[in-house]
Structure 1
Amino acid sequence: MEASITAVQPVAANPIVLNERSRKTVRTLINASHRNLLFLDKVVDWEQGIDFSKPPKVAESSWIYGTPYWDALTPEQQNEVLWLETGRDVSYFIWLEQTLPELYVGYVNKYHGALTDDVREYLMVFSREEIVHTLMFRRYLEAAGLRLWSHPENIPNYSLFEQQLAGKHPVYGICWNLLIEWFAELNSIFQTQTDGIDPLTRTMFREHHTEELRHIAFAKTVCENYFDTAPAGEIAEMCDFFQKGYGFLLAEYTYMPEIALHASFDFPIKPDDAEAIAAVRNSPNNQRLNEQRFRDVREWCLKYNIIKA
């Protein structure tokens, strides 16, 4: 008896619909990615290593700079704080960029018969680049002698938010990725691309930024096409959903309580001191930093009613 073969039925509707101008943008991103690949062994001079006589980021960008907590630290402790904060930034890139290939290739598999060729290819290109980024950042942690911070799923607000993404329209996943990567990129470039920063750290974040700019452009293109064509009720529901995510990201990129668990000294802010954490997140220096470094993502979110003025 011959085995019967059942054809896999394609999903009826394409979930990522782009106008012709946007499809041209995606094709441009694809070509740029194929021309300019990031190679792990060449992105920085790993053999030369890190210059620990220089900081990994500007002091003014520290989460606790401009507060009595910072002023009470010794210069050695202040330097350690800068490295620990950089370790958090790198760890978040690792956790995010390990997740995205599964998400995006999942879209390719689920909607295999519906996606246009250009969108399908860029989802795959995107995934390849994120895998290399993850390997690069893990190598950096080892070179810097930094520990990997906890997975964000251990943070209750983040975990609950992520769980709600399951089963939602793919644009939800792409928009969430956009917000996370945009926050992360604006933060890392703002604090590392100045003279006096460790050269390896500065170069790594700059080279990473080149590819991430393409990722952000793709996600913005997909989201903006959705906002232009989706029913008003669906858009309102999506914007309400991501308003919560925006608030979470702003808080976590301003101050992360886990730093107290990584410090070699008695860190002045305990992980469960909600009052002190809130005060630091709302310090004048952090308000100024957030106004400057996150301006682009804030203005985009205001434009599309993800947040309110």
Structure 2
Amino acid sequence: MGNKTSGDDVARRLLDSSAQLSYDPLTEVDWDTPLDTDFHGASPEWSTLYGTAYWGELTDAQRKELTRQEAASVAGTGIWFEMILQQMVLRDIYAKDPADDAVQWALTEIADECRHSIMFARGAKKLRAPAYRPRRVALELGRFFKTVAFGEAAYAAILVAEEVLDVMQRDWMRDERVVPFVRTINNIHVVEESRHMKFAREETRRHLAGAGRVRRRAHALLIAVAAYVIVTSMVNRKVYANAGLDEARALREAKANEHHKSMLRASCSGLMEFLDSVGLLTGPALRFYRRAHLV
């Protein structure tokens, strides 16, 4: 009963916060001003090529175009996972009392994610990018994951996806080199996702309270595999060709880019501490986090 009360208290506070501070991207974002190509699409330090020899050879215009394509790809991955998230949350609350604060917060979160997906799609289009989608194998793994994941596996995976995005978007929204409408998009997402992450942490702890050792270890691995697929899907390989670069060379240098790997690891330090604190950082799970350069 104590856990339920704690969860209800969190949900009520989040509902109150949402009522006080939420955004409508259709009116908050400047969709009408033409794209200014003098700006980046993301902080250049977050580019997969930043710090490589290839980056050093690029013109300023090429670097800006690359970051715009990469930002659009991250948005596409965000849309993909938000659709998975919505289905998992809906399944979790399907037969629960809709008058409960936790259920009403879950519905509020789903409404937020719907708006975010539309916002990301419109943002990518304004960046003059195609609709970047994950590889077919990632799409099918996502289909499998959203069908089988429940409890802490669903909520911890939500947390993984949102935490990685949160750190990079906090950098982008403060960076005056980034095109203003993208900064607005990032600010909206950061503010609203902070509430989603708080709820995901609470639900992960609550579900784990009743989990045995076998379930905990199995879900730890499932979450880690999901994290690997999400993070390795963020930047589509086609961004390089669409930015006018040599795709094969760009892929080689991006894969070996220690700077980008260090940025990912730094962005996930708090997440890894949380997963460790709830017993979800097992040896097999760590292997996937290392492969994704999250630890």
* 1:202 corresponds to: 183
Contact 1:183 1:249 in 2 (8 A): no
- Of 89, 100, 106, the residue aligned with 2:74 is 89
Q: How many residues align?
A: 283
Taking structure 1 as the reference length, the TM-score comes to: 0.80
Contact 1:59 1:65 in 2 (8 A): yes
* 1:121 corresponds to: 104
Structure 2: gaps spanning 5 or more residues: 287-294
* 1:112 corresponds to: 96
* 2:254 corresponds to: 280
Higher alpha-carbon Rg: 1
* Structure 1 residues 165 and 134: CA distance shift in structure 2, 3 A: closer
Matched, 1:52 2:37: yes
Distance 1:252 1:35 in 2: 34
Listed as ranges, the matches of 1:173-252 within 5 Å are 173-252=154-233
What amino acid maps onto 1:284 in structure 2?
E
- Of 264, 274, 294, the residue aligned with 2:244 is 264
- Of 10, 21, 24, the residue aligned with 2:9 is 24
Distance 2:177 2:139 in 1: 35
Matched, 1:133 2:97: no
Contact 2:43 2:178 in 1 (8 A): yes
Distance 2:99 2:200 in 1: 16
Distance 1:18 1:38 in 2: 31
Contact 2:41 2:127 in 1 (8 A): no
Deviations 1:118-141 (A, max 9, x none): 221111111111111112122212
Contact 1:141 1:148 in 2 (8 A): yes
Distance 1:291 1:216 in 2: 19
* 1:169 corresponds to: 150
Runs of 4+ in 1 over 4 A off after TM superposition: none
Deviation of the 1:215 alpha carbon: 0.7
Distance 2:145 2:219 in 1: 12
Deviation of the 1:71 alpha carbon: 1.9
RMSD: 2.7
Distance 1:235 1:175 in 2: 12
* 2:290 corresponds to: none
Partner of 2:49, secondary structure, is coil
What amino acid maps onto 2:77 in structure 1?
Y
Identity over aligned pairs, percent: 17
Q: Which protein is richer in helix relative to its size?
A: 2
* Structure 1 residues 108 and 226: CA distance shift in structure 2, 3 A: closer
What amino acid maps onto 2:272 in structure 1?
R
Q: Identify which range, 292-301 or 81-90, moves more after superposition.
A: 292-301
Distance 2:89 2:58 in 1: 44
Q: Identify which range, 187-196 or 117-126, moves more after superposition.
A: 187-196
* 2:289 corresponds to: none
Deviation of the 1:209 alpha carbon: 1.0
